[in-house]
Structure 1
Amino acid sequence: MKRRITTLIAAALLLTVTAACGAREEPRVRADGSVDLSQVTLRVGDQKGTGLQALLTAAGQLDDVEYKVTWSQFTSGPPLLEAINAGSLDFGAVGNSPPVFAASAGAKIAIVAVSEKGRGGQAVVVPAGSSIKTPADLRGRRVAVAKGSSSNFHLLAVLKKEGLSFGDIQPQYLQPPDALAALSSGKIDAWAIWDPYTAQAQAQTKARILIDGEDYTNGFEFQITGRETLADPARTAALGDWVTRIRKAHRWANDNQDEWTKVYSELTGLDPGIVGTAIKRSSFKDLKLAGDVVEREQLVADAFSEARLIPAPIKIADVVDTRFDAILENPS
């Protein structure tokens, strides 16, 4: 009797597991290969510097989404990509450096889309009364930067042009909120950062831009997913729609800067003046990955490798997936 009961329980458990798996997986991809997007959840990472949720909300691109979207907030790109690699996120937008650091560390990520933004808000800022007048004056100074961020490369490029290296400064690896506090209290001499933090430092601490990103860095904002996500046809179908929505939102933001400023300010709590300054110097230009993006981004990867700031050299082409490039040709 005990053996029969045990057998029945095991069979019941097997049926329960099978039914659960079927409920989770089968309805999403139909027999004809089409996808029921209502059964899909896309897990998206966001950060204040990209404001993706605010952008899509402002542009009305979240109004009729067929699939479910969950959001997680991050202070910068590197921890966001760690979450994608760990399988807890499906998508996120980051600057030019986080994918380099992540790929060099063996992260299973893929760049699936890219836009280029204005570089005026990518800057090294110093306190208003600072004796630092030129980039050469950074020698020996305490410079805050988020490790692996786009500002990490900007700072590297600025130093290199002056014949300096990270060994010639005192790098302070801080996330943006901590760096802003350190700048305000005089604990650091300079801060390499991006908008809207640059605009925030200017407005709240009267910081002065020592050097911006023009002539030093690209303005790439990469849209990243995990290899595991791309292996799932249902989530990949949702991603194709998601990338389309982002590109529509970019066009809307470029054409409606005042409304974009208003909504971004309301959703983030940032002062409209700060947001407006950032938006005016951060317009979007969507690009194909199959163009010269890989070649330009390889320069970033090579610079970090030469400076021995990443574990191993990488080939950007190995982490690029161009399947969504066609959306630029037919964005509707």
Structure 2
Amino acid sequence: MGLLAATLAQLSLLGLSAGPGLAQPALPTQVPKGTKLVAADQNEALQTLMRASGAQDKLSSTVTYANFLGGPAILEAFRAGALDLASVGNTPPIQAHAAGERVLIVAARVSSETDYFFAARPGLKLATLEDLRGKSITYGEGTGRQPFVLNALKLAGLTKKDVKLVPLRAGDFPDAVRTGQVDVAALNEPHFSRYLADFADRGASALPSEQNRRLPKSLSYLYASQKALDDPAKAAAIREFVANWIDANRWSRSNADAWIDSYYVKRQNLKPADARKIVESEGDFSFPLLSSLIPKQQSLIDVIFEAGDLPKRLDAREEFDLRFDDVIGSKTN
């Protein structure tokens, strides 16, 4: 047995787990009565998923949801001590890390498809990623759209100097592209499908799907504040939430009609046919161990750093609470 393996085994016997550079107490499993969590949501997707799937009813804690638009607003709420847990894209943990905030990844969902799609302003046609040269593009620093755009430029052999990046809040992206304030916007669903449907008569279009497939696939996270993770009651509640969140996501794939009706039709006011296209475009989900995602997260960090959007190169290992791999492993094996 090597030194590292022996150390890990000893920590396990002591009820500890190895974090990045230090030992952490093992996750508690008992959720005391009266435990409460506040979770950040976006477009009411998380709360609808948990409730429609029945996962919410299986939680021992009381979880309330606060709706936000984009990762930066969620980070501000974490800084203010108003949140315990959040559902976000792949970039907010990097921004929290850069800002010195201890908000750690506790679960991940990987899709077989991309999170965003490049929508072009009415009348503009994009045939390839290389056509982004010279275009004005919405840019959401601190959101998943940031590495999405940077990776697109890198794949096209372009840099930030070859385009005009327009910093906007995530909620302003759809209006910016539909009014022609920008040439291109990275939109997620349901905003992407709504734009193409509502402005089809004005020549709304998007980067072809075969070009979009050149881009990294969707990676989203649940992450939690260090303060919550240091509280035994809340840590146990988050552990339970992660397990049920995985079940809820699986439910949404095996019960697509119920998910479409509960979220896209009743919450987002989409037509069932349009909603089904969205669900089908999301591909299949998997829930990898956090330890396996460290290289992928490091590559995201490096892309953002090399673009000049981080003050220093960060170590991705510091963004994960690897104790949750036991929970994830028990749900996926």
Assess if the C-alpha contact under 8 Å between 1:121 and 1:196 holds in 2. Answer: no
Cα deviation code 1:235-294 (max 9, x no counterpart): 001001100110000111111111111100245233134432222122321111122x11
- Unaligned segments of structure 1, at least 5 residues: 1-32
Partner SS state of residue 304, structure 1: helix
Residues 103-154 of structure 1: per-residue CA shift (max 9 Å, x gap): 1121211011111023245221113521443322222222113222112111
State yes or no: 1:192 paired with 2:186.
yes
Task: Tell me the CA shift for residue 91 of structure 1.
Answer: 0.5
State the shift of 1:193 in Å. 2.4
2:326 is aligned to 326
Match of 1:65 in 2: 59
Q: Tell me the TM-score normalized by structure 1.
A: 0.83
Q: Which has the larger radius of gyration?
A: 1
Q: State the secondary structure of the residue aligned to 2:322.
A: coil
Partner residue, 1:271:
270
Work out the CA distance in 2 between the residues paired with 1:91 and 1:107.
14
Report the Cα distance in structure 2 between the residues aligned to 1:74 and 1:55, rounded to whole angstroms: 16
Question: For this pair of structures, how many residues does the alignment match?
Answer: 298
Q: Point out the more displaced range, 269-278 or 157-166.
A: 269-278
Q: Does 1:202 align with 2:196?
A: yes
Tell me which residue corresponds to 1:90: 84
Q: What is the CA–CA distance in structure 1 between the aligned matches of 2:224 and 2:208, rounded to whole Å?
A: 32
Contact 1:124–1:155 (8 Å) recurs in 2: no
> Partner of 1:81 in structure 2?
75
Structure 2 spans left out of the alignment, 5+ residues: 1-27
Aligned to 2:230: 231
Cα distance in 2 for partners of 1:290, 1:319 equals 11
1:187-218 per-residue CA deviation (whole Å, 9 max, x = no partner) reads: 11110122232222222233422156533224
TM-score (norm 2): 0.83
Task: For residue 323 of structure 1, give the secondary structure of its aligned residue in structure 2.
Answer: helix
Tell me the equivalent position of 1:252: 251
Give the aligned CA root-mean-square deviation in angstroms.
2.1
Could you tell me how far apart the structure 2 residues matched to 1:176 and 1:204 are?
19
Distance 1:118 1:80, change over 3 A: farther
1:323, distance to aligned residue in structure 2 (A): 1.3
- Counterpart pick for 1:130 among 103, 124, 133: 124
Following TM superposition, by how much is the alpha carbon of 1:78 offset from its aligned partner in structure 2, in angstroms?
2.5
Question: In 1, are the aligned partners of 2:122 and 2:180 still within 8 Å (CA)?
Answer: no
Structure 1 residue 319: Cα displacement: 1.3
Is the contact between residue 105 and residue 320 of structure 2 (CA under 8 Å) also seen in structure 1? yes
Query: Which residue in 1 is equivalent to 2:112?
Result: 118
1:34/1:258 CA distance change after superposition, 3 Å: closer
